[in-house]
Amino acid sequence: MTAEFGQFALILAMTLSIAQAGLSFWGRARRNGVLTGLGEGAALGAFGAVLIGFAALIWAFVTSDFSVVNVAENSHTEKPLIYKIAGAWGSHEGSILLWCLALTAYGAALSLARGLPWGLKALAVAVQGSLGVLFIGYMVLASDPLLRLVSPPVEGRSLNPLLQDPALAAHPPFLYAGYVGLSVVFSLALAALIEGRVDAAWARWLRPWTLAAWGLLTIGITLGAFWAYYELGWGGWWFWDPVENASLMPWLAATALLHSAIVTEKRGALPAWTAFLAIFAFTLSMLGAFLVRSGVLTSVHAFAIDPARGLLLLAILGAASGAGFLLFALRGPKLKDAAAFAPISRESALIINNVILTAVTTAVLAGTLWPLVLEAFGRQGGVGAPYFNLVVGSLMAVAFVVLPVGPLLAWRRGDAIGALQRLAVAGCAGLLIAIAAYALDSPRRAVAAVGVGLGAWLIAGAFVEAAERLRLGKAPWRESLRRAGGLPRGGWGMNLAHIGLGVFVMGAAFETAWKSEDAAVLTTGAGMPLAAFHLTLDSVTDRPGPNYDAERGVIQVTDPAGRGVCTATPERRTYATGGQTTSQVAICPRGLDDIYIVLGERRVAPGGGSSWLVRAYWNPWARLIFLGPILMALGGALSLSDRRIRLAAGRRMPRSQIAPAAAE
């Protein structure tokens, strides 16, 4: 019965979304507060209803109710509980339900938000409701997550073993919360365009939503990359696969939006551009969902694809973003951009940031969709990683050179010479580290030197900015300490995020340049070299798991002096259901570095003895690659906590009048 109850709740959610959109639009047109209030109530109701539907699906998974198609195809009684729950969003239908849950949750949050002007809020709730109608309608009519089977099987087909992993259980919820968080930004942009009020105040309301979506997306992408790193066993963490690009593109657009919204908020400049980016960012989110789910591009991460329904998703994407861009085309040119600024100013620095980020987004989009262009000309093919490394790497390097200068420039008219003088320390640090990196022997020393140097420049630049704000060394330390307490959290958040970026860049460059890889077929007792280390295969034993059988290798890692570094226990798991095998990578952390060992397949020698293919990677500074984005997300959270306080306090004076030195 719970499944039918859930189905009913989802249909109710669609009806409530229609009511939400209709009542809010109507109420805004009639200037009737009761109607818009009902619209907000419908938004809360829609969220509640989708939540009930979602709970029903989780319940079906937890109780292994195989009369539900979704459960029968993606679950199994022997699966651990956490993966039974995670199986709920492992399928196409389940992930669409998760998407709708996030969409209505943001709709409910929007209708509970305070401080927004009445008209803008009503329209934003209405647009959010229209998105709900599109996506919940798609779910109810074409992708029912709770569909029953006529003759239920005794046992389910189980979730793909590669997905049975803690990082990947958490990856979709974060990713979708981020993707769909951009829907609020989209709704607010459309509402402001309809109202004709795209101004500084609007940008202030936009920013917390952008920050939240951006932070969640950052965590989601990082979890995905981390999963690819240790679950796939290929030694890498980013493959420029269409599915990965699909998550990167909205992130890049959201990052650009985060920065352009600052210009609009503080200076009232670039309102049209900010509104455009808001529409563009959510369009890329929807495009991501379409690319991932339709299988239109060949991907190594293709899960739960369905070309026929992909087309329907494309139609939804076309309807939603088409309406958005049409509205923008009608209203955008009328927006006033009053603020004036000099070529050297913080506005200009942020514009350079936006130009580069948009160019990178477009380049990634072009490379990702290029196979479709080829197909239109009757060819089939793909665009390899070298393209993305070259284009994204070079353009981002330009952005990183400019980045630390921006925050040190004043609004309207900046002092470039002064800013560069203050950054001299950071520049020297970056240069020295780059030279040191170049001096170390490596096959890709140029990449390493530029990357590591730029990373150091970013980190040092953020410290210089913070020191400037505290007047560290220029004022008595008591004064600095007092200032540290008074600084807005947004400023700290920005510096933390920029430090995180620097940490990531250093890690990525260092790992790319210095990683080494080796593979050998070993019998027990045999060994192989890896960089400066030595690996010895001690033994391989059988070890049964909850729903798989594993071969576990015990590998001793010793350093050049012969001292033991660690004992690695990589596994090769064979799942009874489906007969699929997965590799459980063993990672020995050594400071910032990883020794990464994969136990490959068993090979039986003609004499009858067994040997195993062992692949090992030495990934120096690999920890930084995942630490960096976490710092960035924390920076976002810190800024968000600042903004929440300010929003809760209602309309205070502009910050420039409270603390002249404090600017984000």
Partner 1 sequence: MPWLPRSRKARRRLTLVAAAAPILALAVGLVLYGLRDSISYFYTPAQALAAHVRPGRAIQLGGMVAPGSVAKDAGGEVDFVVADHTARSMVTYRGDLPDLFREGQGVVATGAYNRAGVFVASQILAKHDERYMPRALTRALKAEGAWRGSGAAPVYAVSDDGRGGRLP
Site for partner 1 in 145-184 (CB under 8 A): 149-151, 153, 157, 160, 162-163
Regarding 579 and contact with partner 1 (CB under 8 A), the answer is yes
Q: How far is the CB of 517 from partner 1 (least distance, A)?
A: 9
DSSP string, 35-85: HHHHHHHHHHHHHHHHHHHHHHHHHHHHTT-TTBHHHHHH--TTS-HHHHH
Among 352, 513, 632, 637, binds partner 1 (CB under 8 A): 352
Matching residue, tokens 């060994």: 527
Q: Which is nearer to partner 1, 312 or 519 (CB)?
A: 519
Total binding residues toward partner 1, as defined by CB under 8 A = 72
In the complex with partner 1, the residue whose CB is nearer, 108 or 520, is 520
How many C-alpha atoms does 46 have within 13 Å on its Cβ side? 39
> Which listed residue (14, 110, 296, 595) binds partner 1 by CB under 8 A?
296
Instruction: Give me the amino acid identity at 487.
Output: L
Per-residue contact string for residues 359-378; x = within reach of partner 1 by CB under 8 A: xx-xx--xx--x---x----
Instruction: Show the binding pattern over residues 473-492: x = contacts partner 1 (CB under 8 A), - = does not.
Output: --------------------
Quote the least distance from Cβ 396 to partner 1, whole Å: 11
Is there a contact between 475 and 648 (Cβ–Cβ < 8 Å)? no
Residues with Cβ within 8 Å of residue 562, at least 6 apart in sequence? none
First and final C-alpha spacing in the chain: 54
Residue 78 C-beta: closest distance to partner 1, Å: 16
Contact status: 524 vs partner 1 (CB under 8 A): no
Taking a C-beta distance cutoff of 8 angstroms, is the pair 555, 538 a contact?
Answer: yes
Residue 295 makes CB contacts below 8 A (sequence gap 6+) with 302, 305, 306, 307, 310
* Nearest alpha-carbon partner for 527 in 419, 464, 612: 612
Residue 140 vs residues 11, 428, 611: alpha-carbon distances, Å: 6, 60, 53
**In angstroms, what is the minimal distance from the CB of 616 to partner 1?**
11
CB of 4 to partner 1, least distance (A): 19
Q: How far is the CB of 366 from partner 1 (least distance, A)?
A: 6
Q: Nearest approach, Cβ of 407 to partner 1 (angstroms)?
A: 18
CB of 343 to partner 1, least distance (A): 5
Smallest CA-to-CA distance from 450 within 435, 463, 462 is with 435
Residue 46 Cβ, how far from partner 1 at the closest point, in Å? Answer: 32
User: Which of 613, 627, 630, 662 lies at the binding interface for partner 1 (CB under 8 A)?
Assistant: 613
Q: What DSSP string describes 254-289? A: HHHHHHHHHHHHHH---HHHHHHHHHHHHHHHHHHH
If binding is defined by CB under 8 A, does position 221 make contact with partner 1?
no
**Least distance between partner 1 and beta carbon 247 (Å):** 16
As measured in angstroms, the least distance from the Cβ of 370 to partner 1 is 7
The nearest distance, CB 315 to partner 1, in angstroms, is 20
Among the residue ranges 52-60, 300-308, 541-549, 647-655, the one whose residues contact partner 1 (CB under 8 A): 300-308
Instruction: Find the part of the chain contacting partner 1 (CB under 8 A) among 114-122, 174-182, 290-298, 643-651.
Output: 290-298
Considering the complex, state which of residue 11 and residue 162 has its C-beta at the smaller distance from partner 1: 162
Out of 498, 615, 623, 643, the only residue in the binding site for partner 1 (CB under 8 A) is 615
Instruction: Tell which one of 257, 383, 409, 506 touches partner 1 (CB under 8 A).
Output: 383
Q: How far is the CB of 611 from partner 1 (least distance, A)?
A: 7
Q: Is 610 in the site for partner 1 (CB under 8 A)?
A: no
Choice between 389 and 558, CB closer to partner 1: 389
Least spacing, CB of residue 66 vs partner 1, in Å: 10
User: Token pair of 217, please?
Assistant: 């997306």
Q: Report the site for partner 1 in 389-418 (rule: CB under 8 A).
A: 390-391, 394-395, 398
Interaction of residue 303 with partner 1, rule CB under 8 A: yes
Amino acid at 291: L
Q: Is residue 550 within 8 Å of residue 574, measured between CB atoms?
A: yes
Nearest to 340 by CA among 429, 250, 267: 267
Which of 536, 567, 541, 535 lies closest to 553, judged by CA? 541
- Dist CA 522 CA 445 (whole Å): 32
Select 370 or 626, whichever has its Cβ closest to partner 1: 370
Angle (deg, nearest 10), helices 445-470 and 424-439? 160
Q: Which range touches partner 1 (CB under 8 A), out of 207-215, 293-301, 456-464, 497-505?
A: 293-301
Residue 604 or 649 having the CB closest to partner 1: 604
Virtual torsion, Cα 28, 31, 37, 43, nearest 10 deg: 0
Backbone phi, then psi, for 465, in 5-degree steps?
-60, -45
How far is 634 from 458, CA to CA, in rounded Å?
Answer: 17
In the range 225-264, which residues lie near partner 1 by CB under 8 A? Answer: 232-234
User: What is the distance of C-alpha 507 from the center of its chain?
Assistant: 18
Q: What CA dihedral angle connects 426, 428, 431 and 436, to 10 degrees?
A: -110
Q: Which is nearer to partner 1, 160 or 183 (CB)?
A: 160
Binding partner 1 (rule: CB under 8 A), the pick from 37, 41, 382, 527 is: 382
CB of 618 to partner 1, least distance (A): 16
Closest CB to partner 1 among 515 and 615?
A: 615
Q: Which of residues 56-115 bind partner 1 (CB under 8 A)?
A: 69, 72-73
Distance, CA of 655 to CA of 603 (rounded, Å): 68
CB-wise, 25 or 411, nearer to partner 1? 411
- CB burial of 262-297 (b: ≥16 within 10 Å; e: otherwise) equals bbbbbbbbbbbbbbbbbbbbbbbbbbbbbbbbbbbb
Member of 82, 601, 651, 652 binding partner 1 (CB under 8 A): 601
Strand spans (E) along 386-502: none
Taking the C-alpha atoms of 226, 229, 230 and 231 in order, what is their torsion angle to the nearest 10 degrees?
A: 100
Q: Residue 555 — φ and ψ, nearest 5°?
A: -120, 125
In whole angstroms, how close is the CB of 519 to partner 1 at the nearest point?
A: 5
Residue in 322, 486, 578, 654 binding partner 1, rule: CB under 8 A: 578
Binding residue for partner 1, selected from 184, 263, 520, 585, defined by CB under 8 A: 520
Nearer to partner 1, 165 or 642 (CB): 165
CB-facing half-sphere around the CA of 320: CA atoms within 13 A: 29
Contact pick of 297, 317, 497, 540 for partner 1 (by CB under 8 A): 297
Distances in Å between the alpha carbon of 582 and those of 160, 579, 587?
A: 10, 10, 16
Q: 583 is written with which tokens? A: 């590799």
